[in-house]
Copies of this chain bind each other. A is one copy, B any other.
Amino acid sequence: MEDARTRVTLQDVADRAGVSITTASRVVNDGSRRVGAHLARRVHQAVDELGYTANLQARAVATGRSSMVGVVVHDIADPYFSSIAAGLIEAAGARQMLVCLSAAPASEAAEREYVALMRAQRARAVILVGSRTDDAAARAALGEEIAAFTRQGGRAVCVGQPLLGVDTIVPENAAGAGALARALVALGHRRLAVLAGPRGLLTAQDRVAGFRAGLAAWSIGLRPGEVVHGAFTRDGGYEAMSSILAAGGPLPDCVFAVNDVMAVGALARLRAAGISVPGGVAVAGFDDILTLRDVTPPLTTVRLPLKRMGEMAASLVLADGEPGRPRVVPVPGEVIMRDSTIPRLPPA
């Protein structure tokens, strides 16, 4: 077996060094116990000559702990998630954790399946990044799987809504959208519309609700036709904007897309319609996606420290808190006013 020859084990190392496998093991994971300098050298030499690398799987079985952490995002190609993932991967790498990534397109059933897989892998932790949905049944099933995972000794962390009973990094969607709404009204916008994202997604719902609350502070309401749903994507924004245009009435002063990606879609749709921004309609987004900072006109938005949020999630995995009392780490959003919401006329 060519295979067999090349697969060198600790036993091979021990044999070649003329020591017991115990001693070889102690040398390889130095620190566990002192080994005489002479034998240690012999073992090291054998390791080099044989090109030995410890089998981490076997080690994990023997010790009962692994360094794997599972991360599930909705869509890694979406800059929102890839930014968070970047922070997560960097921080996890620095802490010697092995990150396994999976994509579960906003489906708690798929997330559940991945948590089950991580449970089978005896992963140290699982991190669920992204909005919860309003499907209570699916959420409960997911929660149960997570409970099984934590009961087994794993940690669970979520980035999104604190609805799973685990440590959670919570972007303040409602507060941010509220602040944005107030700022827009302060600028002079009076008739607002919202491109509201998918119906079931709580992040979208929170942002709409927060926006609505912010407007309410100025006694401004949103009528049904002024809230139009669509996918959380560029095309979703494009189409949602389309249906606002198709409705025919007078254009709103300002359109709030619940994320930047949709806002860009809306900009594209308006450009296609020959409507200038902000001259014809103002547009605002949410997230402050880095790659989207150079669109024209520059987009008013609510900045979320995405990369930082990923790092925070990674920290939570290590910092073991008291069980039963999940920690909640709120992350405020910062309103960034740019050209896309300059009012048609300065406020009277």
Cα distance, A268 to B293, chains bound together (Å): 10
What residues of B have a CB within 8 angstroms of the CB of A66 in the complex?
A: 57
Cβ–Cβ contact B77 & A307, under 8 A: yes
Is B61 touching A89 in the complex (CB atoms < 8 A)?
Answer: no
Least Cβ distance of A244 to chain B in Å? Answer: 18
Which residues of B lie under 8 Å from residue A101 when comparing CB positions? Answer: 85, 89, 99-101
Q: Mark A81-113, 1 if CB is under 8 A from B, else 0.
A: 011011001100100001111110000000000
| A120 interfacial contact with B, CB 8 Å | yes
Does A58 make an interface contact (CB < 8 A)? yes
Q: Size range of the interface on A?
A: 35 or more
> CB within 8 A of A296: which of B51, B293, B295?
B295
Q: Could you tell me the dominant secondary structure of chain A's interface residues? A: helix
Task: Report the nearest B residue to A60, measured CB to CB.
Answer: B57
| A103 partner, pick from B6, B93, B151, B152, beta carbons under 8 A | B93
- Whether the pair B55, A122 counts as a contact (CB closer than 8 A) is yes
- A122, B61: Cα distance in complex, Å: 14
Enumerate chain B residues within 8 angstroms of A120, measured Cβ to Cβ. Answer: 53-56
Residues of B near A64 (CB, < 8 A) are: 7
5 closest A-B pairs by beta carbon, nearest first, are A77-B86, A82-B82, A296-B296, A101-B101, A56-B120
